[in-house]
Chains A and B, each alone.
With several copies, the nearest count.
Chain A
Amino acid sequence: MKNYLFIISRAPYASSHAFEQLEAAMVAAVFDASVTVLLRDEGVWALQPRQEGSATQQNTFAKALAALPAYEVEQLYVCRASLNKHSVSADPSLGFEPMSLAAQQRLIDSSDVVIGGQS
């Protein structure tokens, strides 16, 4: 199997793009692919603490993220520059490691497949 990088660059609640990306990442993991998830730009809002999707009758995105390790998706990164730009204090319990832009360059270069061009 190839190694897959899923990039999420949209915020979680206005559209279902981020949810659908996550579903695809979980399916790749079920296929025993090596899966990495990177949150960048508005995608970093996914780590905002105290989300409560039920306030708008939606699922809570942070809970979907928390399920990733159960699918053996354990390489979880978030763009540090994007966190700073949006002043997001990532919920540490979600286990996303901040990553520099230089490291993101190397991560993309070393991936067989990059999924996440929508945004």
Chain B
Amino acid sequence: MSLHLVFSQNGLSACLQRRLPADPVLMLGDGVYACQQWLREQLPNDLAFVLAADAAARGIGDEQRGDIAAVDYAQFVSLTEAHSPIVSWQD
């Protein structure tokens, strides 16, 4: 099963069109701004993650993130252990 790394808001759109519905998505860098789109489209929150440090830097807190889990780099590593291929979406 693939893991998708999303680095921008446009990246999330491109990813959502091309990912299997059960694939998890990690939003990082400016990708953390895309968590609002995830919530708006009512996608399953258990498949979405944001990188905690990048979200904190940008002021993306619980309000913007809802139930999407914030993960640290160790959890980022765990996600990559469990999935292949790993696909990056910058756009």
Contacts and interface: CB of A to CB of B under 8 A. Distances in A.
Interface of A: 5, 9, 11-14, 40-42, 45, 48-56, 58, 60, 62, 81, 86-87, 101, 104-106, 108-109, 111-114, 116-119
Interface in B2-43: 2, 5, 7-9, 14, 17-20, 23, 29-30, 33, 36
B53 A113 contact: no
B57 A52 contact: yes
Nearest to A60: B57
Query: Is the interface on chain B under 10, 10 to 19, 20 to 34, or 35 or more residues?
Result: 20 to 34
A60 B56 CA distance: 11
Contacts of A40: 14, 18
A56 to B, nearest CB: 4
B87 interface: yes
Interface of B: 1-2, 5, 7-9, 14, 17-20, 23, 29-30, 33, 36, 52-54, 56-61, 84-91
Contacts of B52: 55
Contacts of A49: 59
A114 B87 contact: yes
Nearest to A50: B59
Given A13-B30, A45-B33, A49-B59, A105 B91 contact: no
Contact of B29 (A14, A52, A54, A106): A14
